[in-house]
Structure 1
């Protein structure tokens, strides 16, 4: 069986959408690539993604092709548009004729701006991961002859939805990955701090010929007295940049 170029491009786009488990991940660039794939696969004039949180747009990303047009058509939707409708219902907004929507006063600000950019039709699909909605993907279709209306291209909507679903999974996976990386870093920092404190306790106990409990008490008292993190004081003891008073008085530094 021979795969068409469109099927090959779609497979590549879906694979790319899953590649988010990296520290160098850039969400804006990632969503721009998603928009670029829509433009290429659907023959659209432009496409863009609106990330939404709490009903408010928090991030916009447009396709490389006609980037400013895509961003303009996303930005004007703060007063209504296909992205907010798709996000609000969690369902696709089927292809809509811009001229018809404008005449019917549907999304007046958006449709007026779309007509200025010679957009003939638009549709949107939600970015969703199961029950979690992240935003919407908006596709802008090129100008069509006046005597035609945009076709009810269900295949295009399904393809866009597949890309949006894959992107939502990729975004969620990266969010979880980043949380685990942050937690791992915190745990590693806490472990390293504990090791330094134990090392400083041992150094002081040996230096003063006392118990490690007494050494730790003195270490902690010094940190509190000088309002310093305990780990910072411990590090100073290890590298000999901090001298503590021996419990009961007397020199606290290392013997000469």
Structure 2
């Protein structure tokens, strides 16, 4: 799909406002309580909201140069597994290695090229994928994957917007490094990956305690953190060590 989407005037105006608001939020990283885990989750959710894709995920390079899942627009286990598969094959690993965007409008035609990824994508009923590099000049820190349940995937205009979002997020992460007390970039990215593990554990505890789905558990966790001006990772850690009030978190209204 290469044609630019035609938007009615009122819908276009609303979309432009949402796009503008998104760029402002992604650029707001120069704060003392910057939470890279929540920041990356916001990026994936904005991609789904603005780009007309079914799901989005961020894969980052860890300290050893391996790709790891850092954030996903949904907390469905099978979707997280699909993103994890990209550490072995798929458009994102090729994108990160080359530093160039990768696009596949029909995943069914790429079974030999990406056998593990296409099999996992078929199980999740995704039929198209785009991977956009998170890079600044020659420095690639990861990739943004866009998935669509329909063949063709995102159109050219949406892919360009997706790349712009990835660029702003990358600049924000690199810029935030300068106020992080001299921490190296690899340390920050590893922190993001470690934070995901803590958040996954907290989601599991909340889901079990409240008998809710993982998506719901994550929504409550993040909503509670924001309402109390807490870092998402800090609250997740409190859930994990037993010092958080699980009932209060689960009672928090959906944001």
Bucket of the pairwise TM-score, normalised by the shorter protein: 0.5 to 0.7
In the alignment, the residues of structure 2 paired with residue 170 and residue 139 of structure 1 have an alpha-carbon distance, to the nearest angstrom, of 20
In the alignment, the residues of structure 2 paired with residue 119 and residue 66 of structure 1 have an alpha-carbon distance, to the nearest angstrom, of 16
Q: How does 1:1-256 map to 2 (within 5 A)?
A: 4-53=13-62, 55-63=65-73, 65=74, 67-102=76-111, 105-142=112-149, 144=150, 149-150=151-152, 153-179=155-181
Following TM superposition, the consecutive aligned residue runs of length 4 or more in structure 1 with deviations greater than 6 angstroms are none
In the alignment, the residues of structure 1 paired with residue 72 and residue 17 of structure 2 have an alpha-carbon distance, to the nearest angstrom, of 23
Q: Structure 2: which 5+ runs fail to align?
A: 1-8, 185-255
Judged with a 3 Å threshold, the aligned counterparts in structure 2 of structure 1 residues 76 and 180 are, in CA distance, closer, same or farther, namely: closer
Higher relative contact order structure (alpha carbons within 8 Å, sequence separation ≥ 6): 2
Alpha-carbon deviation of 1:180? 5.2
The question of whether the paired residues in 1 share the 8 Å contact of 2:51 and 2:154 is answered with no
Alpha-carbon deviation of 1:167? 0.1
Aligned residues: 174
Q: Which moved more, 1:51-60 or 1:28-37?
A: 51-60
Alpha-carbon deviation of 1:179? 2.6
| Greater Cα radius of gyration, structure 1 or 2 | 1
